[in-house]
């Protein structure tokens, strides 16, 4: 089936409801575009598990705070269409901001506890924007399954919680982080980095590798991990600021006393003009790179 591009929310909803009535399963991948291998891995997963794959591209203004990168967020609609088509996406939803947020828009969805720490503490209102737009997109795409990458680990957990709390009829599937050959986690924001800043950005991956080595040695004290990670990050020349080094339970996202399987080690740091995040889900995800 050739790629069908839909801009109008009602047209998407009418189409996906007709698929539902026909008994077809729909896999949905919401994105903000500027597609990279991380997104494509979600498309492939959705392709394997569903009859029809719907993806969305929408740079959602409500999840960006004042002074963040909404205006300069990279966009490449034509390149994105080609990538989506070559990965077997059936429908690409590219709404206009005024259709998703008309002037009298006044309804938001908020998840409470899970959004207080990590990125939520540094980006007030961010998750409120994410959960609102994801709810709207789920109502329009009406998918059987929706796919999220674990680079945005907190986002995935928050959306899972929201879907459970609101009884939304969709299965949330999470997929592992996809990395560049040198370990840098794939992100549309990597495009902001100069070659020198990119070298500094590798310190995030290197510090997680160090955490992995500590775990193999049997280290369980969170403060030892934190200090080792901080030392590596702070030695990177273009690192401007560490937002957090969080050592938390992978389900509750609350700080832990002991690092063990299922702990999440999550980082956010500003390198040059880019705010980057990365994480290791201890004993669950692998930090190994494909050879």
Active site residues: 39
CA neighbor of 154 nearest in space, from 233, 252, 81 = 252
Pairing of strands 52-57, 26-31: parallel
Among the listed residues 52, 91, 92, 130, the single contact to ligand PAF using CB under 6 A = 130
By CB under 6 A, tell whether 135 contacts ligand PAF.
Answer: no
By CB under 6 A, tell whether 63 contacts ligand PAF.
Answer: yes
Binding to ligand PAF (CB under 6 A): which residues in 137-166? 152, 155
Task: State the sign of the Cα–Cα–Cα–Cα dihedral 87, 93, 96, 102.
Answer: negative
Q: For residues 172 and 282, which CB has a smaller minimum distance to ligand PAF in the complex?
A: 172
By CB under 6 A, tell whether 269 contacts ligand PAF.
Answer: no
Among the listed residues 60, 115, 132, 279, the single contact to ligand PAF using CB under 6 A = 60
Q: For residues 60 and 144, which CB has a smaller minimum distance to ligand PAF in the complex?
A: 60
Q: For residues 36 and 209, which CB has a smaller minimum distance to ligand PAF in the complex?
A: 36
**For residues 86-120, b (16+ Cβ closer than 10 Å) or e, as one string?**
ebebbbbbbbeeeebbeeeeeeebebeebbebbbb
Rounded alpha-carbon distances, angstroms, from residue 160 to 60, 155, 178, 204, 282 = 19, 9, 21, 26, 20
Stretch that binds ligand PAF, among 26-34, 161-169, 173-181, 272-280 (CB under 6 A): 26-34
Stretch that binds ligand PAF, among 127-135, 167-175, 176-184, 232-240 (CB under 6 A): 127-135
Distance CA(175)–CA(43), nearest Å, equals: 11
Dihedral, CA of residue 39, residue 40, residue 42 and residue 43, to nearest 10: 120
- Least separation, in Å, of the C-beta of 83 and ligand PAF? 15
Q: For residues 39 and 238, which CB has a smaller minimum distance to ligand PAF in the complex?
A: 39
- Least separation, in Å, of the C-beta of 178 and ligand PAF? 13
State CA 146 to chain mean position distance. 12
Q: Write out the residues near ligand PAF by the rule CB under 6 A.
A: 30-32, 60, 63, 130, 133-134, 152, 155
């Amino acid at each position: 089936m050739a790629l069908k591009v839909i801009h109008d929310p009602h047209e998407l909803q009418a189409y996906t409801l007709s698929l539902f009535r026909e008994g077809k399963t729909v896999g949905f991948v919401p994105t903000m575009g500027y597609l990279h291998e991380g997104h494509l891995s979600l498309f492939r997963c959705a392709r394997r598990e569903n009859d029809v794959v719907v993806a969305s591209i929408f740079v959602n203004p409500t999840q960006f705070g004042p002074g963040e990168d909404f205006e300069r967020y990279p966009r490449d609609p034509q390149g994105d269409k080609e990538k989506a088509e070559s990965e077997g996406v059936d429908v690409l939803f590219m709404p206009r901001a005024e259709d998703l947020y008309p002037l009298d828009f006044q309804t938001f969805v908020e998840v409470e506890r899970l959004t207080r720490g990590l990125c939520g503490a540094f980006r007030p209102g961010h998750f409120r924007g994410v959960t609102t737009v994801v709810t709207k997109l789920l109502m329009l795409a009406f998918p059987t399954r929706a796919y999220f990458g674990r680079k945005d680990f907190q986002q995935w957990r928050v959306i899972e919680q929201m879907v459970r709390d609101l009884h939304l009829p969709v299965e949330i599937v999470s997929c592992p982080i996809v990395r560049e050959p040198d370990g840098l986690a794939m992100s549309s924001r990597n495009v902001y980095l100069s070659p020198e800043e990119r070298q500094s950005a590798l310190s995030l991956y290197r510090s997680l590798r160090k955490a992995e080595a500590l775990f193999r040695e049997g280290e369980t004290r969170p403060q030892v991990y934190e200090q080792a990670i901080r030392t590596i990050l702070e030695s990177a020349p273009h690192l401007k600021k560490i937002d957090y080094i969080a050592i938390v339970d992978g389900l509750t996202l609350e700080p832990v006393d002991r690092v063990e399987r299922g702990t999440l080690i999550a980082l956010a740091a500003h390198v040059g003009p880019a705010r980057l995040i990365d994480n290791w889900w201890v004993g669950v995800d692998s930090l190994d790179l494909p050879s």
